[in-house]
Amino acid sequence: MINETLTMIPGPTPVHPRILAALARPTVSHVAPAFVEEFRAALVDLRTLCQSATAQPFIVAGSGTLAMEIALVNLAAPGERILVISQGYFGDRFAELAAAFGIHCDLVRSEWGHAVAPAEVAQRLSGNSYTAVTMTHVDTATGTAAPVEAYCELLRGRDELVILDGVCATGGIDERFDQWGLDVLLTGPQKAIGAPPGVALCLFSERALERRRARSSVPAYYADILRWLPIMQDPGRYFATPCVNEIVALAAALRIVHEEGLPARFARHDRISRAFRAGLEALGLALFTAPDCRAATLSVVLLPDGVADAALRKEIAARGVVVAGGLGPIAGKAFRLGHMGNIGAGEVATVLTAIEGSLRALGVSAKPGAAVAAASSILSGK
Ligand code: PMP
């Protein structure tokens, strides 16, 4: 495509033309019946995506960080203590949020590129009690997928509320709200759901709503879920103007998610991630994340010796593909390739070809066609 780039960062991800067309529909009143119906459909489809029969969905203008804040500020009060399980940059953000609200925090952290072992969580939980435990399904800085189901098993039957950040997972990796016993699943539209950014998404269990109701107030106004609850139960009501176009686009994105079906969608993410990794390895590239915890939604790729981060990403961009740089301790040492949302074999081939050409341009020997051949053998199931 002329003057079009393929955005392959770990969010925002490419937005399907059907979703873009929905975004471009005329802005209407937030109480127009047709909009209210779209809003209602988005709420129902979000709950289905999170595999819950009864949890309360919330869709509020903002970003994933607002969804994190909504979870924390409604469920933990200043002076109370939470446990934060962190695999890196975005896990640590919960600790920063807690500090901003005077909530005490115990942090159990892994080395970057590894997941926190459930045994470490078990150790923290024994003899301690917390208001809530936060977990990050996929840390977008490190490419690590956490063993969330195993953490949840440890929390079964306990009083701690279970808060899961699914921003870099929801829509691409299985997440079972009811079965795992989650209390909040918070997420964003701009990653594996494939919609444009602009809304904070979360689901609250009945237990979590009860805990909020038991508090007379929380240190928030816009982020107080009790102000939003009537709107989420009847989207024709008003509290603060919803982002009409983004919600219509989200509804279109969620329709696509359910047309594909969750098992097929998760299997596609798994297949595409394996195809990308086979292709990257065929180019002699190594991955940063430990093999036992690599997320299906992105890959963190180590730079070959002698190749500078900026130079490589510039070459890749010159071939029409945008990838992201490393964050924190791996800045300048790795690049991050998003492979989630509404992408398929075409994107795999385009991206691998762009990386291969870029490496050659920088003097790294890369066998022409080797990456795409390795990826295709996985995509075709051979
Ligand atoms: N959590 C995770 C795992 C993320 O990847 C991100 C965004 N990269 C966030 C939270 C924050 O979301 P946002 O940038 O939309 O505020």
Rounded distance, CA 30 to CA 240, Å?
10
Ligand 1 in reach of 279 Cβ (< 6 A):
no
Q: CA triplet 126, 129, 131: central angle to 5 degrees?
A: 145
167 lines ligand 1 (CB under 6 A): yes
pLDDT for residue 4: 80
Note the pLDDT of residue 176. Answer: 98
What are residue 163's DSSP bridge partners?
134, 184
pLDDT at res. 62: 98
Residue 250's pLDDT is what? Answer: 98
* Type of residue numbered 81: R
Q: Can you tell me which atom of ligand 1 is nearest the CA of 63?
A: 15
Would you state the pLDDT for residue 340? 98
Q: 9, 59, 65: which to mutate for ligand 1, most atoms within 8 A of CB?
A: 65
Question: Which region holds residue 132: left if phi is over 0, alpha if psi is between -120 and 50, else beta?
Answer: beta
Kindly give the distance from the C-alpha atom of residue 64 to the centroid of ligand 1, in angstroms, as a whole number. 5
**How far is CA 155 from each of CA 93, 148, 243, 264, rounded to the nearest angstrom?**
22, 11, 36, 30
Sign of the alpha-carbon dihedral angle for 185, 189, 191, 197? negative
Chunked mean pLDDT (size 10), the chain, 382 residues: 82 97 97 98 98 98 98 98 98 98 98 98 97 98 98 98 98 98 98 98 98 97 98 97 98 98 98 98 97 98 96 97 96 98 97 97 93 96 71
Centre of ligand 1 from the C-alpha of residue 279, in Å: 27
Nearest protein CA to atom 15 of ligand 1, as residue: 64
CA nearest to 249, candidates 69, 27, 24? 24
pLDDT of residue 2: 53
Q: What is the pLDDT of residue 215?
A: 97
Binding site membership of 11 for ligand 1 (Cβ less than 6 Å): yes
Q: Is the CB of 327 inside a 6 Å radius of any atom of ligand 1?
A: no
Q: How far is the CA of 191 from the centre of ligand 1 (A)?
A: 9
pLDDT computed for residue 381 by the predictor: 80
pLDDT of the residue at 269:
98
CB of 356 closer than 6 angstroms to any ligand 1 atom: no
Is 0.95 surpassed by the pTM of this model? yes
Report how far ligand 1's centroid is from the alpha carbon of 375 (Å): 28
Please work out whether the CB of residue 92 comes within 6 Å of at least one atom of ligand 1. no
Query: What are the angstrom distances between the C-alpha of 105 and each of 22, 86, 351?
Result: 42, 12, 41
* Cα 372 to middle of ligand 1, angstroms: 30
Smallest CA separation from ligand 1 atom 12, residue: 64
